[in-house]
Amino acid sequence: MKTLTCTVDKYNGIHVDGEALPADPKVFLQALLESQQHWQQQAHKLIWLSLGPDFSHLISMALAQGFSYHHCDDDHVTMIKRLQANAFVPGFATHTIGAGAVVLSDDGHILAVVEKSHFNSKPNYFKLPGGMLERGEHIADGAVREVFEETGIKTQFEGVVCFRHHHIGEFGTSNIYAVCKLKPLSFNITMDSEELCKAQWMPVSDYLSSPDISAHNKHVVAAALGEQYLTSINISGYMSNDEEYEIYSPECS
Contact 144, 129 (CB under 8 A): no
DSSP reduced 3-state for 28: helix
Mean pLDDT of 18-22: 93
pLDDT reported for residue 235: 52
d(CA 23, CA 150): 47
How far apart CA 102 and CA 106 sit, in angstroms, is 13
pLDDT score recorded for residue 119: 82
> What is the average per-residue pLDDT within 62-81?
95
Confidence of residue 253 (pLDDT cuts 50, 70, 90): very low
CA distance 173 to 167: 7
Q: pTM of the full predicted structure?
A: 0.80
Distance, CA of 98 to CA of 151 (rounded, Å): 17
What is the pLDDT, as a whole number, of residue 252? 42
Rounded mean pLDDT of the chain?
90
Confidence of residue 103 (pLDDT cuts 50, 70, 90): very high
- Does the pLDDT value for residue 232 go beyond 80? no
For the segment 76-101, what is each residue's pLDDT rounded down to a tens digit?
A: 999 999 999 999 998 888 899 999 99
| pLDDT tier for residue 239 given thresholds of 50, 70 and 90 | very low
Quick one: pLDDT at residue 234? 58
Residue 120 scores a pLDDT above 60: yes
Cβ atoms of 5 and 36 within 8 Å: the answer is: no
Can you tell me whether residue 102 is helix, strand or coil? strand
- The mean per-residue pLDDT over the stretch 226-244 comes to 61
pLDDT attached to residue 189: 98
What is the mean predicted confidence (pLDDT) over 99-112?
Answer: 97
pLDDT surpasses 60 at 241: no
Categorize the per-residue pLDDT at 104 as very low, low, confident or very high, splitting at 50, 70 and 90. Answer: very high
Q: Give every CB contact of residue 253 below 8 A, 6+ residues apart in sequence.
A: none
Residue 247 pLDDT > 80: no
Domains, the chain, in order of start with CATH, read 6-82 (3.40.630.30), 95-248 (3.90.79.10)
Q: What is the pLDDT of residue 131?
A: 96
Q: Provide mean pLDDT across the span 131-145.
A: 95
Which pLDDT band holds residue 243 (cuts at 50, 70, 90)? low
> What are the pLDDT digits (tens) for 195-206?
999 999 999 999
CA dist., res. 149 & res. 103, Å (int): 14
Position 34 pLDDT exceeds 90: yes
